[in-house]
Amino acid sequence: MIVSPARHIAVLATACALSLGLSGCGGGSQQADSPESAASSSAPAPTDGPDSAASDTAAQPTDTQSSEGESATSCLDMAKELDRKDQIGQLLMVGTNTVEPEPSVAEAIKEYGIGSVLYLGPGPRSLSGTAKVGENLQGNTGAQPPLLFATDQEGGQVQRLEGEGFSDLPSAVTQGRLSDAELRSKWLTWGQELKDAGVLYDLAPDADVVPAGTESGNAAVGALKRHYGSDPETVSAKATAVVEGLRDAGVASSLKHYPGLGRAAVNTDFGSATDDVTTLDDTASFTGPMAAGASSVMISSTIYSKVDPGVHAVFSSKIITEGLRGKEGWQKVVISDDLGAAAAVKEVPVAERAVRFVQAGGDLVINADPSSVGEMAEGLAKKADEDQAFADDLPEHAARVLALKAEVGLVECKA
Query: How many other CB atoms are there within 10 angstroms of residue 5's CB atom?
Result: 16
Report helix, strand or coil for 153: strand
Q: 3-state class of 305 per DSSP?
A: coil
CATH number listed for the domain at residues 43-414: 3.20.20.300
Residues 42-61, mean pLDDT to the nearest whole number: 37
Q: How many CB atoms within 10 Å of residue 404?
A: 27
Cβ-contact 144, 89 below 8 angstroms: yes
pTM of the predicted structure, to 2 decimals? 0.85
Please give the Cα distance from 184 to 170 (Å, whole number): 14
Q: What is the model's pLDDT at position 250?
A: 99
Q: In 57-187, where do the E strands start and end?
A: 73-74, 92-96, 116-119, 148-151, 153-155, 158-159
pLDDT band per the 50, 70, 90 thresholds, residue 40: very low
Distance of CA 337 to CAs 31, 89, 118, 300, 400, Å? 27, 17, 12, 6, 17
Residue 70's pLDDT is 56
Mean pLDDT of 134-139: 94
Give the mean model confidence (pLDDT) for residues 91-115: 94
Cα atoms found within 13 Å of the Cα of residue 323, Cβ hemisphere only: 29
Provide, rounded to the nearest whole percent, the portion of the chain with pLDDT above 90. 75
